[in-house]
Structure 1
Amino acid sequence: MQPTTLCLPMDCTYCYLPFRKAKNFMPVAVAEAVAEAVNAWTADDPAFEVVWHGGEPLATGREHLASLMAPFRGVKHSVQTNAALIDDAWCEFLQGHDVHVGVSIDGPADMNAHRVTLSGHPSSRVAMRGIERLRRHGIPYSSIAVVSDPDPASAARFYEFFVELGVTTLGVNIEEEEGVNVGPKTADAGRAAEFWAALADAWRANPVVHLREISRVLNFAGAVLKGQATAPAPASAPWEPLPTIAHDGGVVLLSPELAGFTDDRFGDFTTGNVLKTSLNVLVAEAEQRTPWITEFWKGVDACRATCPYFAFCGGAHPANRYFEHGGRMDGTRTRYCTTAKIALLEGVAHHAREHRH
């Protein structure tokens, strides 16, 4: 759910969002339309989660965000925030609404240099101020970090930063070429694999943080060794529906990074709008309503037929295919899957070989 496109006070250099400086806010009617479908789904899935992300969800304001959350029943609410706006009042709101908090920060100040404010200033100080308020109120939180330079020499210091923050879970994303963040990225596969191996070394030495990517590899390896199915985990499989609801009610499936973009062949990438059609229908009829998904399936089939890593990653994700392959969805390997999936598997495998005794 995108309560607003506005991202205050940030202007990260790698951000893919095209309208992050625009004050677009989600009407309550959109949330009510989504909740009509979601409240029925929660009967079958009591762990159902609604994630509010943006833009910066806290830029929506407490009163309006509360009104957007109000129609939902039996769901777990989460926010993914840059933490800059968090004060005591927000902490009380998050606790009062039982909201899980995810903080976006990329590590120590020198590694966080791509996360700058709208005025071009470093953001680490304001982010850490918000994080300190979360800690003071006893609010647990996870983190997502973007790594623009997967330097193996920095992996241990990177990991220990999050240990010291006391995060519950850490997700690590290699910077992607998508949306308005265009241009070739410099990370090569070999260096990325060394980074993942060094990160696994740091985690093994002090395994107090749940490291999302390491867990994916270990779960995959465990399934292989036990002769179990090795379908990619929902969080990493590109074919999971994962509907993203834009601020205006438009629904983008499979890839939230496509929200807000248009294409001569594919239009605005949405399957429709919840203000006009039930979310149940938009999910069930996605392929008929969205021509890019059919082309994407061809790419998944091509990955399955040609890539030995398919069982782990499930094929390149839609946005990476689209933005790296000149607007095509049926391409195969991307720079992102090379550095963030293949290198991840090889790096953790190298770590395991080095520590097998």
Structure 2
Amino acid sequence: MQSALRLAARPRSVIMQPTTKCLPMDCTYCYLPFRKMNHLMPVTVAEAVATSVNPWAADGPAFEVVWHGGEPLATGREHLAALMSPFKGARHSVQTNSALVDDAWCEFLLEREVNVGVSVDGPQDMNTHRVTLAGHPGFRVTMRGIERLRHHGIPFSAIAVVSDPAPENAARFYDFFAELGVTTLGVNVEEEEGVNRGTKDSDPMRATEFWAALADAWRANPVIRLREIQRVLNFAGAVLGSHDTAPTPTSAPWDPMPTIAYDGGVVMLSPELAGFADARFGDFTTGNVLREDLDVLVAEAEERTTWIPEFWLGEDACRATCPAFAFCGGAHAANRYFEHAGRFDGTRTRYCTTAKIALLEGVTRHVRSHAH
């Protein structure tokens, strides 16, 4: 298969970086290089993106514009409203640390029917990597914002980063989010990427036990949608139904997932690469929406970059060598790059081991333990 056919011409969403600044948080595992700088996205960038997004949104199915930072609420209500206004027919989402959420922000989110995702890592003792710029624990300010959302009846999902996938903490971790009433919980094992370059050598067996214990907790009280469990269930259903099982099967193009940085630069497939540069690959962008239309940058992405063709080599190697490929679909681009010394053609990463293979094995173990 030629690489030109491997990215879809129409994405399902775009990720917009309205500001690089993350206020007031300074999480120890954050990958963003400019999170202490206040680079604001000009409205002209949003207008340029909307020229391509609006026809995509009109063409269906539902198209999502995801505002992700930095902290998108640090953009300010007036400027964020101006950035959102050019988009017609798309659904807006924000991923926020919730520290800035107050009644006025809740009114803003309700008026625009914005989907809300909150970043919080669990109970206070599991949330220690989320600290403020002043070095103080961030749990209290995060929970204050969550309480405002709940007070206004705004549903919200959550993304949690687990630095230590300890099986003994899984039940209490799950119960925290169940009591919060989140709609969906996504669990990310801490990754080595961006400026977070510390070694993350989690024990694969321990990670497997964590996922099994988390599945146990969910099964005992399945009141929220647990993203990772759902992925395994979808995979099992595909296997039983003799359908394509890989999340990115060879028979269908990949979603390019364009990320638009504050300055209009466009990075495909991996938002974690935005803001970085490399001697071999440059700044990883396919171009800038202030100079060329986004639909052109998507369609010509593989011709305009050297890193995406190298990524396909790694993808094909994963397919040929990894028994878990049908489930995971291959190592993520940023994980390959940051774990394999700046190369995209490597295969298994530590993130694969703890967040994909261990997930599949852990949920399988859970199913077997409840089979009798």
- The interval holding the TM-score normalised by the smaller chain is over 0.9
Cα distance between partner residues in 1 of 2:37 and 2:305: 27
Task: Decide which of 150, 169, 172 is 1:135's aligned counterpart.
Answer: 150
SS in 1 for 2:106: helix
Q: 1:275 maps to which residue?
A: 290
In the TM superposition, residue 150 of structure 1 has moved relative to its aligned partner by 0.1
SS in 1 for 2:59: coil
Q: 2:165 maps to which residue?
A: 150
Q: 2:4 maps to which residue?
A: none
Q: 2:371 maps to which residue?
A: 356
Q: 1:7 maps to which residue?
A: 22
In the TM superposition, residue 231 of structure 1 has moved relative to its aligned partner by 2.5
For these two proteins, the number of residue pairs brought into alignment is 355
Q: 1:50 maps to which residue?
A: 65
SS in 1 for 2:157: strand
Task: Tell me if structure 2 keeps the 8 A contact 1:238–1:254.
Answer: no
Q: 1:347 maps to which residue?
A: 362
Task: Decide which of 267, 271, 293 is 1:256's aligned counterpart.
Answer: 271
Aligned-residue identity in percent? 78
* TM-score, length-scaled by structure 1: 0.98
1:223 alignment partner AA: A
In the TM superposition, residue 184 of structure 1 has moved relative to its aligned partner by 1.0
Cα distance between partner residues in 1 of 2:351 and 2:253: 13
Q: 2:317 maps to which residue?
A: 302
1:143 alignment partner AA: A
Q: 2:47 maps to which residue?
A: 32
User: Kindly tell me: are residues 233 and 161 of structure 1, through their superposed partners in 2, closer, same or farther at Cα, counting changes over 3 Å?
Assistant: farther
Q: 1:98 maps to which residue?
A: 113
Task: Decide which of 172, 178, 199 is 2:214's aligned counterpart.
Answer: 199
1:261 alignment partner AA: F
In the TM superposition, residue 233 of structure 1 has moved relative to its aligned partner by 6.5
Q: 1:218 maps to which residue?
A: 233
Cα distance between partner residues in 2 of 1:239 and 1:15: 26
In the TM superposition, residue 46 of structure 1 has moved relative to its aligned partner by 3.6
SS in 2 for 1:106: coil
1:72 alignment partner AA: F
SS in 1 for 2:266: strand
Cα distance between partner residues in 2 of 1:305 and 1:233: 15
2:70 alignment partner AA: G
- In the alignment, structure 1 residue 79 sits paired with structure 2 residue 94: yes
Cα distance between partner residues in 2 of 1:297 and 1:107: 36
SS in 1 for 2:185: strand
In the TM superposition, residue 43 of structure 1 has moved relative to its aligned partner by 2.0
Task: Tell me if structure 1 keeps the 8 A contact 2:246–2:325.
Answer: no
Cα distance between partner residues in 1 of 2:338 and 2:260: 21
Task: Decide which of 307, 328, 339 is 1:313's aligned counterpart.
Answer: 328
In the TM superposition, residue 187 of structure 1 has moved relative to its aligned partner by 1.1
Cα distance between partner residues in 2 of 1:67 and 1:288: 33
Task: Tell me if structure 1 keeps the 8 A contact 2:247–2:327.
Answer: yes
SS in 2 for 1:163: helix
Cα distance between partner residues in 1 of 2:254 and 2:354: 20
User: Kindly tell me: are residues 310 and 186 of structure 1, through their superposed partners in 2, closer, same or farther at Cα, counting changes over 3 Å?
Assistant: same
Task: Tell me if structure 2 keeps the 8 A contact 1:251–1:273.
Answer: yes
Cα distance between partner residues in 2 of 1:264 and 1:344: 35
1:291 alignment partner AA: T
SS in 2 for 1:348: helix
User: Kindly tell me: are residues 233 and 297 of structure 1, through their superposed partners in 2, closer, same or farther at Cα, counting changes over 3 Å?
Assistant: closer
Q: For the aligned residues, what is the CA RMSD? A: 1.2
SS in 2 for 1:215: helix
Listed one character per residue, the Cα deviations across residues 118-142 of structure 1 (whole Å, up to 9, x for unaligned) are: 0110000000000000000000000
* TM-score, length-scaled by structure 2: 0.94
Equivalent residues in 2 for 1:230-249 (5 A)? 230-232=245-247, 239-249=254-264
SS in 1 for 2:173: helix
1:273 alignment partner AA: N
Higher RCO structure (Cα 8 Å, ≥6 apart): 2
Task: Tell me if structure 1 keeps the 8 A contact 2:183–2:225.
Answer: yes
In the TM superposition, residue 356 of structure 1 has moved relative to its aligned partner by 1.4
1:47 alignment partner AA: A
Q: 2:199 maps to which residue?
A: 184
Moved more, 18-27 or 225-234: 225-234
Detail structure 1 runs of 4+ shifted over 6 Å in the superposition.
none
Task: Tell me if structure 1 keeps the 8 A contact 2:335–2:351.
Answer: yes
Q: 2:10 maps to which residue?
A: none
In the TM superposition, residue 222 of structure 1 has moved relative to its aligned partner by 1.0
2:207 alignment partner AA: A
Cα distance between partner residues in 2 of 1:56 and 1:312: 32
- Please list every run of 5 or more consecutive structure 1 residues that lacks an aligned counterpart in the other structure: none
Task: Tell me if structure 1 keeps the 8 A contact 2:248–2:254.
Answer: no
Cα distance between partner residues in 2 of 1:233 and 1:122: 39
Task: Tell me if structure 1 keeps the 8 A contact 2:201–2:350.
Answer: no
SS in 2 for 1:22: coil
In the TM superposition, residue 228 of structure 1 has moved relative to its aligned partner by 1.4
Q: 2:127 maps to which residue?
A: 112
SS in 2 for 1:43: helix
2:82 alignment partner AA: S
